[in-house]
Structure 1
Amino acid sequence: MAVARRWEFAGARGAITARTWPNPDPRYVAVLVHGYGEHLGRYDHVADALVRHGAVVCGPDHAGHGLSAGERVLIHDVADLVADVHTVAAAAREDHPGLPAVMIGHSMGGLIATRYAQLHGAELAALVLSGPVLGRWDALSRLLALDEIPDVPIDPDTLSRDPDVGKAYAEDPLVWHGPFKRPTLEALDAAIRAASAHGSLGALPTLWVHGEDDRLVPLDGTRTGIEAVRGSDLTERIYPAARHEVFNETNRDEVLADVTAFIDRVLAGSASPPA
């Protein structure tokens, strides 16, 4: 198993802890962007698969998440999280000049990665979106309509058919197990609208993977967002009966194989990496 090196930097709103999984002879950079309430430490197995595939892997714990500073899960503006991811990606480009970069975002991280690609797409060779919060998220609309946000945490059973995944999530002290905060919901809503308004990702090769039985970020709502941002090179993989965290699903090996095959296709077709 690849072992990550932790490092810190001054983020948009406080100290950010990032991780880098090294590779002595990488052929590309993979930037991981985690979801709401979790942290990048839950992606060790994803990073390990990517390192074995030829990547040097990196990514931050978002502000207010995991090991990073800030009030827990408080997000004022998704642009701040995009800026922090940009800092990590820039450091990787400086350490590995000339290597193509692939960004992989899950759930809220898919929204962040989409906004990153819309703003900095020339820096990326490819984009992978896993169960991204895009388009229409009815749960968000329902919560924003309430006078008071209920103290109802994310149900671990919605994450995966593998019961060990839900158990580990429920017992993880770095995972947020409390309610959403209204400023965070408002920031997510604004970013979802901004992504749809910005529109096409152009020619950026994009892979969208999603669980058919995703009850946390339902497929049909995300599809409206994908249609709003899709460019000329979109690959879609919908996994029957899979839930929200396809990288943690019972068919995780299939999902990771689809991701690495997509990356191989992109890298084979790249005459030269982005600057």
Structure 2
Amino acid sequence: MADARSHVLAGTRGALHVHEWPHPRPRYAALLVHGYGEHGGRYAGVAGVLGAHGAVVYAPDHTGHGRSAGERVVVADFEDVVSDVHTVADLVRAAHPGLPLVLVGHSMGGLISARYAQRHGEELTALVLSGPVVGNWELPGRLLALDEIPDTPVSPAALSRDPAVGAAYAADPLVWHGPMKRPTLEAFE
């Protein structure tokens, strides 16, 4: 798979950074939607596997995540993020007309991807949800009831059986390692 390229698009709340892993003869396009606190660049390994199976891969950094504009990890309204994903999907379709489009969402990205499918499902060939935050999730309500949200970051050891994955996560300056932000918790409610 070729080296990653970057795009900067106009998002709903400012500049939207998008990673692209090109493929010389793609059979389909995959659009990866990351989880809370991380960024699209963390999916280079997934992009490599998908690329080995014929995909050109795109992954935006959501508002407030990675290199995109916005206050760190603040998502005031998930509908804005869904609109940003649609902007990236437009880029993908313009660059690769007629290719099947597969949307892959992990955790918070699963929530965003599920909502995208509700709004724009006719544009997708497939939807893949990995540990999506959908349904009744108690954590936001419990944290919002507190005066101060505790600083309990994700344990790198909990991410993977591969210690190198956890070490890369812990060392990544574009990953948020602080507490969840109140506006984002409110958006989950």
TM-score by length of 1: 0.67
Aligned to 2:128: 128
Task: Tell me how far apart the structure 2 counterparts of residues 83 and 89 of structure 1 sit (CA, whole Å).
Answer: 10
Q: Shift in Å at residue 158 of structure 1?
A: 2.1
Aligned to 1:162: 162
- 2:59 alignment partner AA: G
Deviation digits for residues 132-181 of structure 1, max 9, x if unmatched? 11112232232122222112222222212222222211111110011111
Aligned to 1:198: none
Identity percentage of aligned residues: 67
Which protein shows a greater Rg? Answer: 1
- 1:115 alignment partner AA: R
Q: Secondary structure at the match of 2:43?
A: helix
Task: Tell me how far apart the structure 2 counterparts of residues 143 and 157 of structure 1 sit (CA, whole Å).
Answer: 23
Aligned to 1:140: 140
Residue 180 in structure 1 maps to residue 155 in structure 2: no
Residue 5 in structure 1 maps to residue 5 in structure 2: yes
* Runs of at least 5 residues in structure 2 that lack an aligned partner in the other structure: none
Aligned to 2:101: 101
- 1:57 alignment partner AA: V
Q: Do the aligned partners of residues 124 and 3 (structure 1) sit closer, same or farther apart at CA in structure 2, a change above 3 Å counting?
A: same
Q: Shift in Å at residue 2 of structure 1?
A: 3.4
- 1:46 alignment partner AA: V
Task: Tell me how far apart the structure 2 counterparts of residues 28 and 159 of structure 1 sit (CA, whole Å).
Answer: 28
Task: Tell me how far apart the structure 2 counterparts of residues 160 and 136 of structure 1 sit (CA, whole Å).
Answer: 25
- 2:164 alignment partner AA: D
Aligned to 2:150: 150
- 1:114 alignment partner AA: A
Aligned to 1:231: none
Q: Shift in Å at residue 107 of structure 1?
A: 0.6
Aligned to 1:211: none
- 2:124 alignment partner AA: L
* Runs of at least 5 residues in structure 1 that lack an aligned partner in the other structure: 190-275
Matching of residues 26-105 of structure 1 within 5 Å? 26-105=26-105
Q: Secondary structure at the match of 2:31?
A: strand
Q: Secondary structure at the match of 1:141?
A: helix
Q: Secondary structure at the match of 2:66?
A: coil
Q: Shift in Å at residue 39 of structure 1?
A: 0.7
TM-score by length of 2: 0.96
- 1:94 alignment partner AA: A
Task: Tell me how far apart the structure 2 counterparts of residues 130 and 157 of structure 1 sit (CA, whole Å).
Answer: 19
